[in-house]
Structure 1
Amino acid sequence: MVGNLRKVASLTRRNRRRVDLSHPARSPLGSAVVNCVIYRDGVRQETAPTVEESLARVRKHGDGFVWLGLHEPSEAEFARVAELFGLHPLAVEDVVQAHQRPKLEQYDDVLFTVLKTVTYVEHELLTATSEVVDTGEIMVFIGPDFVVTVRHGRHGSLGPLREDLEAEPEQLAKGPSAVLHAIADHVVDDYVTVADDVQEDIDEVETEVFSPNGIKTADAGRIYQLKRELLELKRAVVPLGRPLEVLSTTPPRTVDPEIRAYFRDVADHLSRVTEQITGFDALLDSILQAHLAQVAVAQNDDARKITAWAAVIAVPTMVTGMYGMNFKYMPELHWRFGYPLALGVIVVVCAVIYRGFKRNGWL
């Protein structure tokens, strides 16, 4: 841990002047800085040429905040950002390494939040190797006069969210905590959408298992794959409950008091999704057990049929085996009708045994 902190600090010193964060000259595709905007009284202000100047304007004016959006920044790029906004080295380490669990941490006047984003992967046919849920991360730093968002993954763009917020200046005027609420609400809404899409896959598998030809068409591998993907969704959704509980009940001083009620609404939606996912998990367990029971019943039926046919075949095998021993004194051995009589006895006995098994449902 100490070594990582030293590494981050070293990068900060070494790349202080080398890393360029002037966002207007960089494309949102393939670059770390996606956008940097100044907001004052909920209204977007004129864009500054650099991130440094944007922050300087806000602090000089003493009102408003800067929203800096990043996408998968390098260590050098984020070290410069961390120095500029005064971010804690522990939080910087989490951002650089990524793959964090949803959490909420307070560092002096800076609130650090990690949220897992999810998206449903479209597929024509669910197979034993189909990817159903894809996850990413959004890390949010909010301070008295800034918001820094760091996005990891191929989805979860905040561009549409930014436009929606700009259309509601009254809400955006509440400050950086309003941005945090909007991001959390957006992420949880995606949870709801993905859960509904996953339910359709579960319904499809359930219908297939309980169809008349379920033994032939159902595949246990598809059920296991759905459980694996559902587990990935669960890992993204469930841990977020604790951070939202804190934000809705005892929020840090960084959060505007008026935003607390909005976080309660997001927490309610998250609870609904959590219960839904728990129900999906139990349902998939039931579907899998039902499928395995059907397979066991089918195997038992096959075993009974094999046993019944073996019993039928045992009669001619036994009779022909006895005559094959070539003893001198065998029943009707020298009688002209002895051979047809032996065949007739075999047929009659086999027919009686077959009828008995047929009557009992073994054949």
Structure 2
Amino acid sequence: MTEPTRPPDPRSSAPDTPETSRTAPTRYKELWVEGADGRVRPVDGRTGPTDRADSGAPGTAGQEKGAHWYEVRTLDDFVEAAEALGVGLSTQWGRGHLPVHVKHVKHPLAHVEHIGMDWLLVVTPTLAFSEEDRQVSTGSFCILVGPDVVVTVEKGAGGVHDRMREHLTGPSHGRGKGVQRLAGEALFALVATASDVELALGDAVAEVEKIVFEPRRHADPVLPIYGLKREITEARRALLPITAELPELASGSARSRITFDKRLMDRLVSTVERIDRHLDAHDDLLSDMLSVHLSQVSVRQNEDMRTISAWAAILVFPTIVGGIYGMNFDVIPELHWSLGYPMALVIMVAGCLGLYAAFKKVGWM
């Protein structure tokens, strides 16, 4: 099998200008190579993951042995890198066709494509969670896997590349070697970021639960509940394509030589299923909290109605006494007895106090 042709070092090329941008080599964000010790390290003298290069192209480390990982900046760079490696994405789909799978910021389209026997293209959504506004945002992640190279591009705040660097610069953990390990770590990072979002949503649900069952709450929990249910739906919608893609990648294809570590893929499939179950449980818990809140509102309304009815009954008693006592009949005490009026007031007050005590005893006051 011959190694794909790679372009020359772009640092010897002219800078991107309106006249040269169409022919300028692909720019990459980071270039890594797997060493003999199983650790992936940056190329071109870079000392660590935080030491970033601003330009370059596949092939700048042509003398480096081992599988290469090119982290490119944009989707256009991704297509150019594929072309530089001999994979004609723009020829196969037409320039601008590939972005159809990732142009939807909210709902990127998933895509798995075996290109010949030696190349695999995967486009999948990513998830990110903002603690400030408790919102789930979706992005996209593209990975092109070849005989000795992996090219990736990420759109959005999913942090898949950061998680990949964290794992790849450490021990291999027995997840294969070469492109099998690089591609496996990419999928592992993708699922790990989704798991982080699920955990963050679980914490947010727990905080809302405290608000619902707080004895003296001042905030209405309905809006936070519906907001979290909406974000959980967003997360599950983005997770669904991953759920469909992983089994397909795990089973492989008779038309491709690219394979993944079976144990890793089984673990990822079970993890994604667990994430989906947890998200479903969070959604059910929010529905239960909403039902409890509405029940609490109904109970409080009944309590208010009982209190209002009790006070109305208390006020009715002196009204009745005053109405009857104020009738001008000859036998009415105030016409002939000086203590008749004070006695009427005492009866009114005593009756009101008696009614108040009775309502208080039965819990209406």
**TM-score category of the 2 structures, normalised to the smaller one:** 0.7 to 0.9
Which letter maps to 2:341?
Y
Partner of 2:235: 233
Match of 1:34 among 26, 29, 33: 29
Partner of 1:184: 187
CA change 1:226–1:252 in 2 (3 A) is: farther
Residues 1:200 and 2:203 aligned together = yes
2:139–2:155 Cα contact (<8 Å) kept: yes
**Displacement, 1:132?**
4.5
Which letter maps to 1:281?
D
- 3-state SS of paired residue (2:134): coil
Which letter maps to 1:93?
V
| Greater percentage in helix | 1
Gaps of 5+ in 1: 1-13, 24-32, 124-129
Partner of 2:333: 332
Query: CA-to-partner distance for each residue in 1:44-78, whole Å, 9 max, x for gaps?
Result: 796598526459x59xx9x96653322344x5x55
Which sits farther off after the overlay, 265-274 or 251-260?
Answer: 251-260
TM-score, normalised relative to structure 2: 0.73
Which sits farther off after the overlay, 106-115 or 38-47?
Answer: 38-47
Residues 1:18 and 2:22 aligned together = yes
**Displacement, 1:138?**
1.3
1:36–1:69 Cα contact (<8 Å) kept: yes
CA change 1:173–1:293 in 2 (3 A) is: closer
- 3-state SS of paired residue (1:51): coil
Partner of 1:108: 115
Query: CA-to-partner distance for each residue in 1:247-283, whole Å, 9 max, x for gaps?
Result: 2234464463452332111111112212111111111
- 3-state SS of paired residue (1:158): helix
Match of 2:276 among 244, 249, 274: 274
Superposed, which structure 2 residues align to 1:1-363 within 5 Å? Answer: 18=22, 20-21=24-25, 23=27, 33-37=28-32, 50-51=56-57, 53-54=59-60, 66-73=68-75, 77=77, 80-81=80-81, 83-84=83-84, 85-87=87-89, 88-89=92-93, 90-101=97-108, 103-109=110-116, 110-123=119-132, 130-156=133-159, 158-159=161-162, 161-162=164-165, 164-165=167-168, 167=170, 174-211=177-214, 213-214=215-216, 216=218, 219-251=221-253, 253-254=255-256, 256-257=258-259, 259-321=261-323, 327=328, 331-335=332-336, 336-363=338-365
Q: Partners in 2 of 1:294 and 1:330 — Cα distance?
A: 54
Q: Partners in 2 of 1:155 and 1:268 — Cα distance?
A: 21
- 3-state SS of paired residue (2:159): coil
CA change 1:166–1:313 in 2 (3 A) is: closer
Query: CA-to-partner distance for each residue in 1:84-116, whole Å, 9 max, x for gaps?
Result: 431142434324555444634215334332333
Which letter maps to 1:117?
T
- Aligned CA RMSD, in angstroms, stands at 3.8
Which letter maps to 1:291?
H
CA change 1:162–1:354 in 2 (3 A) is: closer
CA change 1:350–1:80 in 2 (3 A) is: same
CA change 1:217–1:315 in 2 (3 A) is: same
1:141–1:149 Cα contact (<8 Å) kept: yes
Q: Partners in 2 of 1:333 and 1:94 — Cα distance?
A: 94
Which sits farther off after the overlay, 173-182 or 343-352?
Answer: 173-182
**Displacement, 1:185?**
0.8
1:16–1:80 Cα contact (<8 Å) kept: no
Q: Partners in 1 of 2:219 and 2:165 — Cα distance?
A: 47
Q: Partners in 1 of 2:128 and 2:176 — Cα distance?
A: 30
CA change 1:302–1:290 in 2 (3 A) is: same
Which letter maps to 1:246?
E
Identity over aligned pairs, percent: 28
**Displacement, 1:40?**
8.7
**Displacement, 1:140?**
1.6
CA change 1:119–1:46 in 2 (3 A) is: closer
CA change 1:19–1:313 in 2 (3 A) is: farther
Gaps of 5+ in 2: 1-17, 46-54
- 3-state SS of paired residue (2:153): strand
Aligned residues: 327
Q: Partners in 2 of 1:95 and 1:187 — Cα distance?
A: 16
Which letter maps to 1:34?
K
Which sits farther off after the overlay, 313-322 or 160-169?
Answer: 160-169
- 3-state SS of paired residue (1:18): coil
Which letter maps to 1:51?
A
TM-score, normalised relative to structure 1: 0.73
CA change 1:273–1:215 in 2 (3 A) is: same
